[in-house]
A and B are shown apart, each in its own frame.
Chain A
Amino acid sequence: MTAVTGDVPLQGSGLLGQPLDSREDPQLLRGEATYVADIDLPGTAHMAILGSPVAHAKILSIETKAAEQLPGVLKVATAAEFTGVMPLPCIWIPGGVESHFPPHPYGLPGARPVLTGDTVRHVGDPIAVVVAETPRQAAAALAAIAVEYEPLPVVTRADEALAEGAPQLHEAVPGNLNAYWTCGDKDRTDAAIAEAEVTVELDLVNQRTINSPIEPRGAVGDYNAATDEYTLYASTQGPHNHRFLLSALVLGIPFNKLRVIAPTVGGSFGTKGYLYPDMALVLLLSKALGRPVKWVDTRTGLMNSTVQGRDHRQHVVLAGTRDGRITGLRATSYANLGAYPSTIGPGVATALMGRSISGMYDIQASFCEVYAAFTNTVSLGAQRGSGRAEAAFLMERLVDRYASEIGMDPAAVRRKNLVPKEKFPYDNGLGWTYDSGDYQLNFDKAMELSGYADMPARKAEARSRGKRLGVGIATYVAICGVGPSTRMSKEGMLGGTWESANIRVHPTGEVTVTVGSASTGQSHHTVFAQVAADELEIDPALVQVYEGDTLKAPYGQGTYGSRSYSMAAPAIALTARKVKAKLVKAGAVFLGVPEEKVVYAGGKVYEDGNEENAKTFSEMAMAMWYGWGLPHEIEPAIDETTHFDPPDFNYPFGTHVAVVEVDELTGETEVVAYTAVDDAGNIGNPKIVLGQIEGSITHGLGQALMEAAVYDEQGLLVSSDLTTYALPRAADVPFFTLDKTTTPSPHNPLGAKGAGEIATVPPAAAVVNAVVDALSDLGVQHIDMPLTPEKVWRRLRGEAE
C-alpha cells in the first residue's frame, strides 16, 4: 500500500488540465458500444422476475405448474430452490463498528434473500423467476404463476414505522429500527441552543427520489461446467466489489472462479454499485440449465427494484447571535431505509449525511442523530450527491431562515461564518477533517459572477412583468475519495476501499493501463490515458486503458462517490513513477553512466548535461523486453502495479446561486439563471468535468422542481414510470454560468478532489431558497420539494403547506 501526500510535486508534461476530446465518444455516437442488453451469447435463455404486487403480505402459497407448461418455458423457480444461498450482504453497517470478516451474516438482521419465500415487504419484492427461450415467453409466463397472499398492514414513512403499534417488517428487528446513529457533541450543542440569542427551526422533508439512469439494469450469467467457472456480465459500477460480494458472501464459490464484466454502462449515479438478487439468480440458473441466462429490466421494473435515494424527515435547529454568527446546529433525522438494508444504504443515510451537515461553516457546536428505519418501500441507496445533498439542503435552508429572522442579507450571514482559510486542515466536529480550501475566495467569486448585487433591480423589473424573481444561495462541502481503508473500517465499511492500477509497457513502446475502477459514462479511457501520458511524458495515443473486467484489471472498488479521479488516477500516476524509476535504473546501464546522472524527462532517459546520450521511451521499452545486458538485480520487462490507499478523504466544495422567476398566475417556477463556482482541486480534463458539472446541476434541479417517488397508503409506487416520474428535459434548464476555484488536495499526488457528482449537492437548496425568497413577502418560510406549480400556486394564494 502506498500512502502519499501531495508534497511530492507532479512532474507531468502539462497534459493534465487540457480539455482533450473524449476518445469514447465516437463509438457512442455511432451506436457501437455494447451495453448489457446488447450481449448475445450463443444459446442464451431469458429470465423474467415476478415481483410482489402488494407491499406487505404473507405468502400463503405459490403455484407454478401452469407457468411451467407454457411454450418455451425452461424453468420456474421460487425461494425453495435457493435455500443454500445466503442473503445479500450489507457492507456498510453504521455505528462505528470495526470491520470483521466474514461480515456475513453477522450484523445483518433483515438482509434480503435472493427470492422472498415467506413475507413480501415492498411492491416489486422478487418472489419467483421464469427462464424461457425468449424474453416475451418468460414475461408471459409470469402471469401464469398464482400466488396467494395474506395482506399485512403497511407503513411507508420512517417516522411512522418507528411509532408504537406500527406494522413490523422483520422479526429480527423489533420496532423497525435498523440503526440509531449520532455524530457531534450533543451536550455542547444543546447548551449552545439553550443559551443562544436567536434560534430558528425547520421541519424538512427531503423527498424520496429515483436516480433513473437512462439504461435500466441488466445481467447475463454464464456458467462453464467444463471449468466450473462463472462469468457475470452486469450493468455495474463496481465489478470487483460485486465479485467479492457474490462469490464469497452469497454463492459460496471461490473468489477466483467468478469473473465479473461491466460492459458499457448507461449511467448509474450510484445505483448500479449495489448487489441485487438478479445478479445471483442469472448465475445460479445458468448453472442449473447449462446455458447463459440473460435478464434485462424494464423502466417500471427499475423503479420498483433499484435502490432509491434521499428520503429523510428532519427537525433541524440553528442557534446564533443577533449579528449573524452561527453558534450551534442540531439535526434529528428519520431516514427511510426501505424494506431491506441495501449494500451500503445504511451508511449513506447516516455517516455520509450526518458528518456533512455543517458544510462550509465554522460552527463550534453541532450534533446530528439519525433514526434509520425499515418501511414497506424499495430499499434506500446512493444517488448522485447522496448524503451530501441531504446535508447541504438542511443547512442551507436553515441559514436562509436564520438570515430572515435576524434581518440580515443571506450572503452576508454566509460570508461571516465560512471556515477561514487559516484553519485548514479543519476538524468540523462531526467526524470529518476538511483537507484544504479557500472558501471566501470561492464564495466571493460566485457572488460576483452571479451579479448578486444587482438582484434588487432585477426583482423590480420582473415584478413589472407579473413574475416574482427570487435568488437563492447554497454552499456545500462534499466528502469524496472513499476511501482510506482504516478510516472506512471505523465507519463500519466492510470491504477494501483502495484502488489499484497496473502499467505494462510493451516492446513496441505502447502502454496498457489497467485499473479497478469502472466507468459509467465518465470517459475513463480518455482521462486515465491522459494521466499516464502526462506522467510518462508520452503521446496519450500510445496509451490504451482497460477496466471493468475482473479478469483483466487489478482490484479496485469501482466508481462511486466521485472517487475515480482522486483514487484510480493517483494509482496510475504513482505506477507511472515506478515505471520511470525503473527506466532510470536501467537507463544507467544502457547509457553507461551512474544512476545519479540519469534523467527521465520528455519521454526519454538521458545523461544529465549530455542530452545526446539518450534513449527514447520506445527504445527503452524494446531494450527492457529483450533484457540483454541487464544486471541480475534489474528484472526485464516493465510491468508495475500500485495499490493506492489515501491518508484521508478529500473535500471539494462550492457556491451556487439560483435565480428563479415564479409566475404569479400559474405558480410555475422557471430557473432563469444559475451560477456555480465549484472547487474540485486540480482537474485532469476540464471538458469531461464540465459535462459532469452541468449534468449534476440539472439532476439537482430535478429534485427541487419535479422529481418524487410517491407511495400511496397501500405502499404502491404511484410514480413508477416516466409518465408519472418527471425528469428534467432539455427545455427545463437554461445554460449555466460556471467557474471554478482550485485548491489542491494534499491527500493524493494529483491534488485531485472528487468532481463527478459534487454539483448535484447544492442545487435543490439553492432553488428552494430562491422560491422562498420570491414568496417571502407573503410570509412563506419554507416549501417542501418538489416545487410543483400547484404547490407554489397554493402558497401564492396564502394556503398553508
Chain B
Amino acid sequence: MNGRPEQFSAQPNELLVERLRDGLGLTGTKVGCDTGQCGTCVVQLDGRSVKSCLLLTASAAGSRVTTIEGVTERGGELTGLQEALRQEHGTQCGFCTPGMVMALGELVENTADREAPTEPEIREWLTGNLCRCTGYHSVVRGVQRACSAARAELPEEIGEGAAVSASAGSAASASASASGKEV
C-alpha cells in the first residue's frame, strides 16, 4: 500500500474503497456513485488504474496499491501531471480530481516512449471519470501540457522526433488557452 506493506483481514464482501477510506484513513480516494460510473475512486493496482468501488479488498491481496496519497506527500511537490493540471486549472471543486490524477497518471507515464496521445485519445481515456465542474477542457489541456513536458525531458533522439507530434498537441492547447485568456 503506497510502498508500505499492510496486513489486515477483510470481510469477504468488503470493497477496496471502504478499506482505503474507513480502514486505513486514506480519504483522498472519493466515492461519487454506487454503480462504478464516476471514477472518483480510481486507484492504481500494480500500475493499472482501477475503480476501487468495484473491487473486493480480498482480490487486491498481494498487489501493489497506489492511492493519491502515494503519488505526492502531504504538502509535497506536485508531479509533472499535477503541476500541468494546476497550470491549466484542471480542477474546480476537486472531488473528481484524485480519481482523474490516478487514471491519467497511467496515460501520461506511458507517453514518454511512444507518440503523445492525441486530443481524442485523451478524451477517450477520460471516459471513465466524470467531472461536472470543468467540462473536461482544462483537464485535457493539462494532460497535453503534461505530455509535452514529459517528452521535452526525453533523451535527444526520441525527444526530437516526438517534438513534432507533441507540438501538434500543444498548438491545440495554446489556441484553447489563448482564446481562454480572453475570457
A interface residues (Cβ-Cβ under 8 A, vs B): 19, 21-22, 24-35, 37-38, 40, 135, 212-216, 264-269, 296, 298-300, 520-523, 678, 683, 686-699, 721-723, 727-731, 733, 735-740
Tell whether A739 pairs with B179 under 8 Å between CB atoms, given A26-B78, A729-B126, A730-B123. Answer: yes
Show 23 A/B contacts (Cβ-Cβ < 8 Å), sorted by A.
Answer: A25-B86, A29-B72, A31-B69, A215-B30, A264-B93, A266-B94, A266-B96, A267-B92, A267-B132, A269-B132, A298-B34, A299-B32, A523-B92, A678-B183, A690-B183, A698-B135, A699-B132, A721-B37, A727-B132, A729-B136, A731-B124, A733-B135, A735-B172
Q: Which residues of A contact B82 (CB under 8 A)?
A: 26, 29-30
Q: Is B114 an interface position by the 8 A CB rule?
A: no
B28 & A31 in contact (Cβ 8 Å cutoff): yes
Once the chains are docked, how many angstroms separate the CA of A321 from the CA of B168?
Answer: 50
B183 & A214 in contact (Cβ 8 Å cutoff): no
Once the chains are docked, how many angstroms separate the CA of A31 from the CA of B98?
Answer: 5
Contact with A along B38-51 (1 / 0, CB 8 A): 10100000000000
Once the chains are docked, how many angstroms separate the CA of A686 from the CA of B181?
Answer: 6
Tell whether A691 pairs with B138 under 8 Å between CB atoms, given A19-B181, A300-B34, A723-B37. Answer: yes
Q: Which residues of B contact A728 (CB under 8 A)?
A: 135
Once the chains are docked, how many angstroms separate the CA of A32 from the CA of B75?
Answer: 8
Give B73-92 interface residues, CB cut-off 8 Å to A.
74-76, 78, 82, 85-87, 89-92
Of B67, B133, B137, the residue contacting A521 (CB under 8 A) is: B133
Q: How many residues of B contact A (CB 8 A)?
A: 65
Once the chains are docked, how many angstroms separate the CA of A738 from the CA of B181?
Answer: 9
Q: Which residues of A contact B96 (CB under 8 A)?
A: 214, 266
Q: Is B127 an interface position by the 8 A CB rule?
A: yes
Q: Which residues of B contact A29 (CB under 8 A)?
A: 72, 78, 82, 85-86, 91, 94, 97, 101
B interface residues (Cβ-Cβ under 8 A, vs A): 21-22, 25, 27-35, 37-38, 40, 67-69, 71-72, 74-76, 78, 82, 85-87, 89-98, 101, 119-120, 122-124, 126-127, 129-140, 172, 176, 179-183
CB nearest neighbor in B for A722: B37
Q: Which residues of B contact A693 (CB under 8 A)?
A: 183
Of A520, A686, A722, the residue contacting B33 (CB under 8 A) is: A722
B95 & A215 in contact (Cβ 8 Å cutoff): yes
CB distance from A382 to the nearest CB of B (A): 15
CB distance from B121 to the nearest CB of A (A): 10
A299 & B133 in contact (Cβ 8 Å cutoff): no
A31 & B182 in contact (Cβ 8 Å cutoff): no
A267 & B130 in contact (Cβ 8 Å cutoff): no
Once the chains are docked, how many angstroms separate the CA of A26 from the CA of B101?
Answer: 12
CB distance from B98 to the nearest CB of A (A): 4
Q: Which residues of B contact A27 (CB under 8 A)?
A: 94
CB nearest neighbor in B for A212: B132
Q: Which residues of A contact B22 (CB under 8 A)?
A: 135
Once the chains are docked, how many angstroms separate the CA of A358 from the CA of B52?
Answer: 49
Most chain B CB inside 10 Å of its own CB: which residue of A19, A28, A29, A40: A29
A267 & B93 in contact (Cβ 8 Å cutoff): yes
A30 & B91 in contact (Cβ 8 Å cutoff): no
CB nearest neighbor in A for B33: A299
B35 & A730 in contact (Cβ 8 Å cutoff): no
Once the chains are docked, how many angstroms separate the CA of A107 from the CA of B33?
Answer: 37
Q: Which residues of B contact A733 (CB under 8 A)?
A: 135-137
Tell whether A722 pairs with B89 under 8 Å between CB atoms, given A28-B94, A299-B38, A739-B179. Answer: no
B32 & A691 in contact (Cβ 8 Å cutoff): no
Q: Which residues of B contact A523 (CB under 8 A)?
A: 89, 92
Once the chains are docked, how many angstroms separate the CA of A728 from the CA of B82?
Answer: 23
B134 & A694 in contact (Cβ 8 Å cutoff): yes
B181 & A721 in contact (Cβ 8 Å cutoff): no
A739 & B182 in contact (Cβ 8 Å cutoff): yes
Once the chains are docked, how many angstroms separate the CA of A215 from the CA of B86?
Answer: 21
B172 & A731 in contact (Cβ 8 Å cutoff): no
Q: Which residues of B contact A296 (CB under 8 A)?
A: 31
A723 & B35 in contact (Cβ 8 Å cutoff): yes
A695 & B132 in contact (Cβ 8 Å cutoff): yes
Once the chains are docked, how many angstroms separate the CA of A723 from the CA of B31?
Answer: 16
Q: Which residues of B contact A34 (CB under 8 A)?
A: 27
Tell whether A21 pairs with B135 under 8 Å between CB atoms, given A686-B183, A730-B122, A740-B183. Answer: no
A730 & B139 in contact (Cβ 8 Å cutoff): yes
Most chain A CB inside 10 Å of its own CB: which residue of B35, B98, B183: B183
Of A25, A37, A269, A727, the residue contacting B91 (CB under 8 A) is: A25
Q: Which residues of B contact A691 (CB under 8 A)?
A: 89, 92, 133-134, 137-138
CB distance from A141 to the nearest CB of B (A): 17
Beyond known contacts A26-B86, A214-B93: 16 more, CB 8 A cutoff: A21-B86, A28-B94, A29-B94, A30-B78, A31-B98, A216-B31, A686-B180, A686-B182, A691-B89, A694-B134, A694-B180, A698-B135, A729-B126, A730-B126, A730-B136, A731-B124
B28 & A32 in contact (Cβ 8 Å cutoff): yes
Once the chains are docked, how many angstroms separate the CA of A691 from the CA of B72?
Answer: 25
Q: Which residues of A contact B74 (CB under 8 A)?
A: 30, 32
The 10 closest A-B pairs by CB, nearest first: A31-B28, A521-B93, A266-B95, A698-B135, A28-B94, A31-B68, A722-B37, A730-B126, A521-B92, A31-B98
Once the chains are docked, how many angstroms separate the CA of A200 from the CA of B73?
Answer: 63
CB nearest neighbor in B for A269: B132
CB distance from B15 to the nearest CB of A (A): 10
Q: Which residues of A contact B27 (CB under 8 A)?
A: 31, 34, 37-38
Q: Which residues of B contact A213 (CB under 8 A)?
A: 93, 95, 132
B183 & A683 in contact (Cβ 8 Å cutoff): yes
CB distance from A265 to the nearest CB of B (A): 6
Once the chains are docked, how many angstroms separate the CA of A506 from the CA of B181?
Answer: 35
Q: Which residues of B contact A730 (CB under 8 A)?
A: 122-124, 126-127, 129, 131, 136, 139-140
A696 & B89 in contact (Cβ 8 Å cutoff): no
Once the chains are docked, how many angstroms separate the CA of A503 from the CA of B182?
Answer: 31
Once the chains are docked, how many angstroms separate the CA of A22 from the CA of B67?
Answer: 24
Tell whether A694 pairs with B135 under 8 Å between CB atoms, given A21-B86, A215-B95, A738-B179. Answer: yes
Most chain A CB inside 10 Å of its own CB: which residue of B22, B37, B40, B172: B37
Q: Which residues of A contact B90 (CB under 8 A)?
A: 25
CB distance from B16 to the nearest CB of A (A): 15
B135 & A214 in contact (Cβ 8 Å cutoff): no
A215 & B71 in contact (Cβ 8 Å cutoff): no
B182 & A265 in contact (Cβ 8 Å cutoff): no
CB distance from B36 to the nearest CB of A (A): 8
Once the chains are docked, how many angstroms separate the CA of A35 from the CA of B129?
Answer: 19
Q: Which residues of B contact A266 (CB under 8 A)?
A: 30, 32, 93-96
Once the chains are docked, how many angstroms separate the CA of A256 from the CA of B168?
Answer: 59
CB nearest neighbor in A for B138: A691
A28 & B126 in contact (Cβ 8 Å cutoff): no
B179 & A299 in contact (Cβ 8 Å cutoff): no
Q: Which residues of A contact B182 (CB under 8 A)?
A: 686, 738-740
Once the chains are docked, how many angstroms separate the CA of A216 from the CA of B30?
Answer: 10
B97 & A28 in contact (Cβ 8 Å cutoff): yes
Of A40, A214, A521, the residue contacting B38 (CB under 8 A) is: A214
Once the chains are docked, how many angstroms separate the CA of A701 from the CA of B82?
Answer: 28
Once the chains are docked, how many angstroms separate the CA of A697 from the CA of B138?
Answer: 13
Q: Which residues of B contact A19 (CB under 8 A)?
A: 181
Q: Which residues of B contact A699 (CB under 8 A)?
A: 132, 135
B30 & A35 in contact (Cβ 8 Å cutoff): yes
CB nearest neighbor in A for B31: A37
Q: Which residues of A contact B123 (CB under 8 A)?
A: 730-731
Q: Which residues of B contact A683 (CB under 8 A)?
A: 183
CB distance from A701 to the nearest CB of B (A): 8
Q: Which residues of A contact B124 (CB under 8 A)?
A: 730-731
CB distance from A531 to the nearest CB of B (A): 18
Once the chains are docked, how many angstroms separate the CA of A203 from the CA of B86?
Answer: 46
Of A212, A267, A721, A735, the residue contacting B35 (CB under 8 A) is: A721
CB nearest neighbor in B for A685: B89
Most chain A CB inside 10 Å of its own CB: which residue of B35, B40, B82: B35
Once the chains are docked, how many angstroms separate the CA of A723 from the CA of B35?
Answer: 7
A214 & B32 in contact (Cβ 8 Å cutoff): yes
A729 & B127 in contact (Cβ 8 Å cutoff): yes
